Each structure stands twice: as C-alpha cells, then as structure tokens.
Amino acid sequence: MPFTLDKEEGIRYMLELKNVETFYSGIQALKGISLNVEKGEIVTLIGSNGAGKSTALKSISGLVKVGSGQISYKGNDITKKQAHETTLLGIAHVPEGRRIFPKLTVKENLLMGAFSVKDKRAIEERMERAFRYFPKLKDRLEQKGGTMSGGEQQMLAIGRALMMQPELLMLDEPSMGLAPIIVEQIFDIIRELNQEGITILLVEQNAYQALQIAHRGYVIQTGAIRLEGYGQDLIKNSEVREAYLA
Amino acid sequence: MLNDILQSIPQVLIDGLTLGTVYAVIALGYTMVYGILELINFAHGEIFMTGAFIGTAMLIVLTGIGWVSALPAIVMLITVLLLTALLTGLLGMGIERVAYRPLRNAPKLIPLITAIGISFLLQDLVRFIAELKKGNYIVTGPSLFTSQIKINSSAISSVFNDASIKSSFIIVLVSAIIMMVVLDFFVNKTKWGMAMRAVAQDRETASLMSVNVNKVISLTFFIGSALGGATGVLFAVQYGTIDPYIGFILGLKAFTAAVLGGIGNIRGAMLGGLLLGVMEMFASANLTLMTGGVFGAEYKDVFAFAILIIVLIFKPEGLLGKPVAEKV
Ligand SMILES: Nc1ncnc2c1ncn2[C@@H]1O[C@H](COP(=O)(O)OP(=O)(O)OP(=O)(O)O)[C@@H](O)[C@H]1O
Ligand SMILES: [Mg+2]
C-alpha cells in the first residue's frame, strides 16, 4: 500500500519537487512548485490549459532546464539531469500528444523504448510484457507508427515506456482526444500497472477520472500549486468541482 | 539522330553512373545532416575537397617511400580511403561540435551562414597548406588505375557503340556502391541507425528513450563526412588533378541531387545522385546533336538543372520525399 515510509533507505519520497521554477526564454511557467510522490502511489496533477502541467513533467524528466529549486528522485538530486540521464534512472515520461516516431514501425518504436538495454533476451521479455497489456500491438509490429489510430498510438506510447521498465511512470494527458471507451481502457491499465508496483504521476485535464484512480492529487493554476489532497477529497472540493469538474 | 543517341547510351550510362555515384555519396552527407538538424551543411562540399587533398597527400607520400611498387595498388588505396574517411569524419564531427552546436537553437539562417563561413575557411586552409608544401594549390596525385577496359556493348545489340572504361572508374563505382549499401544497412537495420532516424523524427522524444541526442548528431556528422572525404579520394584518383575549389561546384550538384531525391531521404539522395549523373552525361554526349549544334556539351549543367527544376515544379518534395511531414 502507498503512504508508507521507505524506512530501509530512510527516504520518504520517490519523487520530490521543492520550489521548482522553470522559465521559457524569460517567461516563467512554474512559479515555485513543491510536490511529492511516494513509492507505489498514483498521484495526479490537474489544471487547465497552460497551467504548467506539461512543464512540470518536462522539468522532472529533464526536457527543460530547471531555473531554481530542487528535484530529487529516490533521494538523489536530479535537478540538473538531462532527459537521456533521468530515463536511465527509471523515470519514464510519456509525453503529451503521444509522440510516436511516425516513420518507425511499431516494433521499432517499442525497441526505442529499450534503447539502453543491451541484453536481447531482456528486450524480448519486456516486449512480451508490453503485449500482455496491449495485445493489439503484437499484430501491428510492421505498421508505421504514424498510421496508427489515436488510441493505438497512446497504447504504443505507454507500451514503449514500459520497455524502459520504469519505476516511475509519468503520463501527460493520456486520455487526450480519445473515445470514452478507450479512455476507460487506458485508465484501467494505469491502475493495473500501479498494482504491479509502478509508481505513477498522471497529468490530466480529465480531472474526474484522474482523481478517481489517484491516491492523491495536486491542482496547478498558472504555474503554482493551488490545492492538494487525497483524490476522493479533491473530487468533493467545491473549488475543484467548479473549475474542473463542471 | 535517335540512332546516334542510342549508340552513345552504353558510354553515357557508364560515365553517368560513375559520376552519379560520386554525387550520390556526397548527397548522403547533405541529406543526413538535413534530416537530423534541418541544416544545409554547405561546408560538406569542402569536406569532400579536404578528403581529396588528404588522400592525395597520403598517396604522394606512400608513392615517395616506395609503397606503391611494393604493395598492390588496391591495398594501398583501401588503406588511404579508410584513413581519409576517419580523418574527415573527425573533421566533420569537430565542425559540428565547435561551429553548429552552440547555434542549435538559433534561427535557421545563422548556422547556414556559419556553414558558408566554414566552407571559405577550409578552402583557404587547404590552399595555404598545399602552397606551403607543394608551392602550388593545384595538386596532381600519382596516377593509378589508368588502364582502359573495353566493353563490347555492340555485341548486345548493334544499335549500341562499344564503350570503354578507365579501370579507376570501376574502383569509384564499386567503392561508392559499397559505401551506399553499408550506409543503407546501418541506417535501416542497426540500433544506432534506428536511433538516428528517431532523432531525425523527434529529437525530444528520442532523448526520452535514453538516447543521447548530441552523440547521435556527432555520429551523423562523422558518417556523412567520412563518406564525403572518402569520395574525395576517389575523385582525386579518377581525375588526377585537384584544387581547393572542387568542393564548391561538386557540393552544389550533390546538394541538388539530395533535393532532387527528396532532402532528408537517404535512398532519395542515392537516386537523385545517380539520375543527375546520368542526365549530365547524357547531355554532355548528345546536346550538340539534339540542338543541331546550337548548344554544345558545355551546356550539360543547364540541361541537368532544367530537368531538376521541372521535377521540382511537379514534385516539390523531391522524388522520394513525402508530400507532407507526418505530424502527430
Ligand atoms: N516551448 C515553450 N516556449 C515558450 N512558452 C512555453 C513553451 N511551452 C510552454 N510554454 C508556456 O508555459 C506555460 C505552461 O505550459 P504547459 O505546456 O506546461 O501547460 P499545460 O498545463 O501542460 O497545458 P495543456 O493542458 O494545454 O497541455 C504556458 O503559458 C505556455 O504558453
Ligand atoms: Mg500540457
């Protein structure tokens, strides 16, 4: 169960952000964000367009430079690490809009997820594992990623992230543009992955569903954390209801 | 007239394909870098030229110490090709590191101007060194592989004339084809080749797959420049005399070939190079005939480029280019 102290290592949080500020050529997108994720949790970050959700994930994975503040992962400072380094530590980031490599085949997209893995057998095993969650991918191995439907691409994007065998999986709006039934499936799989031990940081605009499956949530507004709490409490919160669940 | 044109076909094909493979291999360098950085690396023609000089210098030295007579010429050539490829590869990688990487996020025009600057720099540097060592910037290498081979194409059909090849043509052709096949395999079938394609399609996402994007870009410059430099050696062996300005027009044509095939597309560059070479040689052989003597062979470039323009009017993305970039 979540909410336990990792006493053995003496580290409380798997992921911890302290006063993180991030800028895009002078414009401040994150105005000092603090949040944390414990091992085994599903934590969601909700907020409206332009609030800074994607920027928060990019700051963690190292796709953007952090201006000030600190990010630590399993007790190590990763504030200054670049994306190709954080991913080696076990952080997988499924970016907004899925970002499948359009001209690579499904198989190649999956293999890219295991780029840092040298052992061929391990790669095979991971691929089999991805197929367990997304059996459809198995029949499409030679199809070009760009020709897959939106839902299939999202599955491929998550499957590709699973190839990294992450400990922390960050998902940026996985439900974006998908039919309700597909969204349902994706959320089920997220929950399943969590039950298998993967810690999840989920960015969503689909606040209701995200809060439903999350243990805890944060509400971000114009670059600052506005509210935080247990998922079920946030669903009942009047401010959240008005702004995001209307 | 048709008869005359037909007669020339075997020779046109041989000359055209040989020149075409040279264009094709150089075009690869342009297209790979463009594919990954959207940068037209104008200095690539000068890498080719530098390769020609490095190779020629090595051949002169090796001939001087008597290696040429001691070893089969082909062994020596392969050694020189590999060494030159290594050196020009490192040169290209260094140029990217020093001149382009700091400008990675600058407006596209800035690195383009830098590339032109690097071109002049390399031209003058090579010229300076050549004059220092040889007293002249026009350099002639030892003549190798000069024997002529006759091809009995009239035996295939009486409409053809016989064709003849200098044996260096075969060496150029075979080496260039090997380079293309190996590159094609590397890009399409190996892990780092896949990483290269991934970086070309989406740099950010590739980095999320633990790919060190800078490393892949360095690798791309290394490979493109190594191929370009090796082709320079082949060119020097084929034509004997080189000067620091050969990279300009050849580079321009190879770039044209890359555009013709669809810039950013590796097989397109190969196809574009071969087509351009054959068109040019066809024009060179038949222009006088076709225009009743109004235009001579020296207008071959006009002919080749006119075809290029026509192709681009109807297919602006190039022969193998995709009409619209797939964006998800
Ligand atoms: N590359 C960029 N350059 C400049 N400004 C940017 C860039 N990316 C994001 N921003 C700005 O930073 C702010 C936060 O953007 P971000 O993408 O993090 O929002 P978001 O919460 O993910 O929004 P959405 O729900 O629309 O995806 C916005 O004001 C946005 O305009
Ligand atoms: Mg976003």
Of B194, B212, B213, the CB nearest to A112: B194
With a CB-CB cutoff of 8 Å, which residues 33-72 of chain A face chain B? Answer: 61, 63
Interface contact flag, B208 A88, Cβ < 8 Å = no
Query: So what's the pLDDT on residue B5?
Result: 78
**Residue of the nearest CA to atom 6 in ligand 1?**
A24
**Architecture of the domain made up of A15-98+166-244:** 3-Layer(aba) Sandwich (3.40)
Residue-wise pLDDT for A122-178, tens only, equals 999 999 999 999 999 999 999 999 999 999 999 999 999 999 999 999 999 999 989
| Residue in A128, A202, A124 with CA at minimum distance from that of residue A168 | A202
| pLDDT: which is higher, B138 or A202 | A202
Output the tens digit of pLDDT for each of chain B's 328 residues: 777 777 888 888 888 998 999 999 999 999 999 998 889 999 999 999 999 999 999 998 888 877 666 678 888 899 999 999 999 999 999 999 999 999 998 998 999 999 999 999 999 999 999 998 888 888 888 877 777 777 777 777 777 777 778 888 888 889 989 999 999 999 999 999 999 999 999 999 999 999 999 999 999 999 999 999 999 999 999 888 999 999 998 999 999 999 999 988 888 999 999 999 999 998 888 877 777 777 777 888 888 788 888 888 998 888 888 754 443 3
Cβ(A52) to ligand 1 under 6 A? Answer: yes
Residue A217 near residue A229, CB atoms below 8 Å: yes
Interface contact flag, B197 A115, Cβ < 8 Å = no
Residue A199, helix vs strand vs coil: strand
What's the CA gap between A160 and A175, in Å, rounded? Answer: 17
Instruction: Give mean pLDDT, residues A39-67.
Output: 94
Q: Are strands A91-94 and A76-77 parallel, antiparallel or unpaired?
A: unpaired
Is residue B233 packed enough to be buried (19+ CB in 10 Å), middle (13-18) or exposed (0-12)? Answer: buried
Which ranges of chain A would DSSP assign to H, the alpha helix?
53-61, 83-86, 106-113, 120-133, 135-138, 150-162, 180-195, 207-213, 231-236, 238-244
CA contacts within 13 A on the Cβ side of B104: 13
State ipTM: 0.92
**Residue of the nearest CA to atom 18 in ligand 1?**
A52
Query: So what's the pLDDT on residue B206?
Result: 97
A5 pLDDT more than 60: no
Query: So what's the pLDDT on residue A11?
Result: 67
Cβ(A151) to ligand 1 under 6 A? Answer: no
Lowest mean pLDDT among A2-16, A77-91, B225-239: A2-16
CA–CA distances in Å: residue B37 to residues B15, B214, B217, B269, B322: 33, 11, 8, 16, 17
Cβ(A212) to ligand 1 under 6 A? Answer: no
Fold of domain B2-143+164-314: ABC transporter involved in vitamin B12 uptake, BtuC (1.10.3470)
| Residue in B163, B243, B216, B177 with CA at minimum distance from that of residue B20 | B177
Of A82, A99, A146, the CB nearest to B205: A99
Asked if the C-beta of A100 comes within 8 angstroms of chain B's C-beta atoms, the answer is yes
Secondary structure E strands in B142-206: 148-151, 163-166
Residue of B104, B203, B209 to mutate for A, most A C-beta atoms under 10 A = B209
Q: How many CB pairs under 8 A join A and B?
A: 71
| Residue in A35, A53, A133 with CA at minimum distance from that of residue A93 | A53
A101 pLDDT more than 70: yes
CA–CA distances in Å: residue B269 to residues B30, B235, B302: 9, 18, 20
Domain ranges of chain A: 15-98+166-244
Query: So what's the pLDDT on residue B251?
Result: 92
Query: So what's the pLDDT on residue B322?
Result: 72
Ligand 1 pocket, mutate which of A17, A45, A55, A220 (most atoms under 8 A from CB): A55
Residue B34 near residue B263, CB atoms below 8 Å: yes
A4 pLDDT more than 70: no
| Residue in B151, B150, B147, B152 with CA at minimum distance from that of residue B168 | B147
Interface contact flag, A153 B328, Cβ < 8 Å = yes
